[in-house]
Amino acid sequence: MCDTMVAMREMTADGVTVFGKNSDREPNEAQYIAWFPAADHPSGTQLHCTYIDIPQVEHTHAVLLSKPFWMWGAEMGANEHGLVIGNEAVFSKIPGPKEKALLGMDLLRLALERVSTARQALDVITSLLERHGQGGHAGFTHLTYYHNSFLIADPQDAWVLETVERRWAARQVRGAASISNCLTLGSEFDLSSNDLVSFAQAKGWIKGGQGFDFARDYSDFVYTTFARGRQRCQRSQQLLKAKGKEDTIFAVFATLRDHGGKDEANFQPDRGIFDFDICAHAGFGPVRSSQTTARWWLTCTASTLCTS
């Protein structure tokens, strides 16, 4: 489980875009910071991702990644052009694909290596998704299968992208946005795959007279409910919007450390079976088997530099 957020430059006093993410994974899974320089590749080269091989491009950009040690992809990262991406596990009425394909973390790294803007990254992820699919075991020791959402940002632009199998919807960010372990895009999205609505209609998920709502019609009940993704997403949005321009950067810091407004003096992270906050701590039971194992915040300026 994770939480990712962005405040665009019009929200900050310094005119910079601020991006942050908590990566919540198994407590004993090492996640490290890795730098991969820009590189040129011979035509026809194949790239081995976590599970499958795909065609490599002729040039890849330099990237800084936060990645679980055992996979090719990354939980979050930035490239030399100031493009940043974080991903989230999301759960649908369609179970997470078990067949080995591209992990959401692979798609994240592929976009960072191949393009320089948020809009281009959206196109790369969706085209790779439609061509190769997503799937495979995404956990360390716990068998975990899920779909993915992404928050993609550069100094000028940002997008929320949510996917189920090879289907997807995307909305451009205006002001600030956050995503968590839930589908959030309802009927208001700017772009989508061609069969997003027709597939839901064929499945009978759209109730008569209600109109199509991606989050409502595609979401599962169990994982979306008990992972508290909707509550954490609402909480992070409230905290970001409550601060003025002068405090936006510090609001991102505080949001990543948030325990849901609990009394910090008496806070005990091991209490509760379903008590899963933005700053996550592992506890008893299957719902709280992960915790915040890595945290990033970055400020992106109009130059080609992203600093953390």
SS in 3 state form for 151-191? EEECCCCEEEEEEECCEEEEEECCCEEEECCCCCCCCCCCE
If you ran DSSP here, which 8-state letter would residue 96 be given? P
d(CA 157, CA 178): 14
Output the CA torsion sign for 188, 193, 194, 197.
negative
Dmax (CA) of the chain? 60
Task: List b or e across 152-181, with b for residues whose CB sees 16 or more CB atoms inside 10 angstroms.
Answer: bbbbebbbbbbbbbbbbbbbebeebbbbbb
Residue 3 pairs with which residues in a beta bridge? 22
Q: How far apart are CA 68 and CA 53, in angstroms?
A: 19
Collapsed DSSP state (helix, strand, coil) of residue 79: strand
| 233 a catalytic residue | no
Catalytic pick from 2, 49, 182, 306? 2
Catalytic sites, residue numbers = 2
